[in-house]
Structure 1
Amino acid sequence: MRVFSAMLMPLVLTVSAAAQDVEVSDQAIAAMVQEAEIGSGVASYYGRELAGNRTANGERFDPDELTAAHRTLAFGSKVRVTNTATGDSVIVRINDRGPFHRGRVIDVSHAAAREIGMHRSGTARVKLALLNDD
């Protein structure tokens, strides 16, 4: 066993040195983040006419930020919203309460709606996954 460890140690050191030189891409980081599916349903988005209004957590709504409203998730939670028709997804931060329209599960900002291709139709069927980046 001691001989095997002595042979393996230089290999481990080489791999660790090489790993330090590698840049971590956004996709690699996303793969490291754990996700838990929390449901699906219909999403809608906030119009630009609400820009500047206060959200439930007290900040001003900016339609160009990737934010969303959810009825129960904690403020600051990160959620991956995936358009089931296109497979496009976006990560949003919860900063408001809603939606209050029957049958909707999340309201996203205009920027998030553009990212997943629902800005023209106004609504889309989506899957939601809560991100846990601990």
Structure 2
Amino acid sequence: MKFVTMMAAASLTASALFAPTLVQQADAKPKLGLSCGGASWYALRSRTASGEMMNPSAMTAAHKTLPLGSKVKVTNLRNGKAVVVRINDRGPFIKGRLIDLSRGAAKKLGFINAGHTRVQIEPADGSVTQDCA
């Protein structure tokens, strides 16, 4: 019985030693650079990955990997219109799509009727200055 107790204590100590490293890796946020690709829009009335209710008229979006709460500038490459959106959901889950925008954001970008368009995504703070080719 003593051996089992010592092994449990040793494993707890070992996990405590490695836990800070795991937490630091989990807290590391990916840096946002410039991305170009397809965008679509959605207008559901359900909870987003952030836990809030989806508001179709809000300036929000779904992205597969950007941290929830990130703000990005999305530019419609077909007409040059741009909006800043907050990432509050995960997706899109369609091949070739980079971002899913709320209906309100898509309306401001001018592609409601088309349903999808090609966009450029960059940090909202303007830290990236290049354009998509």
TM-score (norm 2): 0.68
After superposition, give the CA deviation of every residue in 1:103-129 in whole Å (9 maximum; x if it has no partner): 000000000000000111000000001
User: What amino acid is aligned across from residue 79 of structure 1 in structure 2?
Assistant: V
Superposition misfits of 4+ residues, deviation over 3 angstroms: none
Q: Percent identity at matched positions?
A: 48
Instruction: Give the whole-Å Cα distance in 1 for the aligned partners of 2:66 and 2:34.
Output: 10
Aligned partners of 1:44 and 1:123 also within 8 Å: yes
1:59 to 52, 62, 70: 52
Please report the RMSD computed on the Cα atoms of aligned residues, expressed in angstroms: 1.7
Instruction: Give the whole-Å Cα distance in 1 for the aligned partners of 2:97 and 2:70.
Output: 18
After superposition, give the CA deviation of every residue in 1:24-44 in whole Å (9 maximum; x if it has no partner): xxxxxxxxxxxx642100000
Instruction: Give the whole-Å Cα distance in 1 for the aligned partners of 2:83 and 2:124.
Output: 12
The gaps in structure 2 that reach 5 residues or longer are 1-31, 127-133
Aligned partners of 1:68 and 1:107 also within 8 Å: yes
Instruction: Give the whole-Å Cα distance in 2 for the aligned partners of 1:88 and 1:58.
Output: 29
The gaps in structure 1 that reach 5 residues or longer are 1-35
TM-score (norm 1): 0.68
Count the aligned residue pairs: 96
Aligned partners of 1:37 and 1:127 also within 8 Å: no
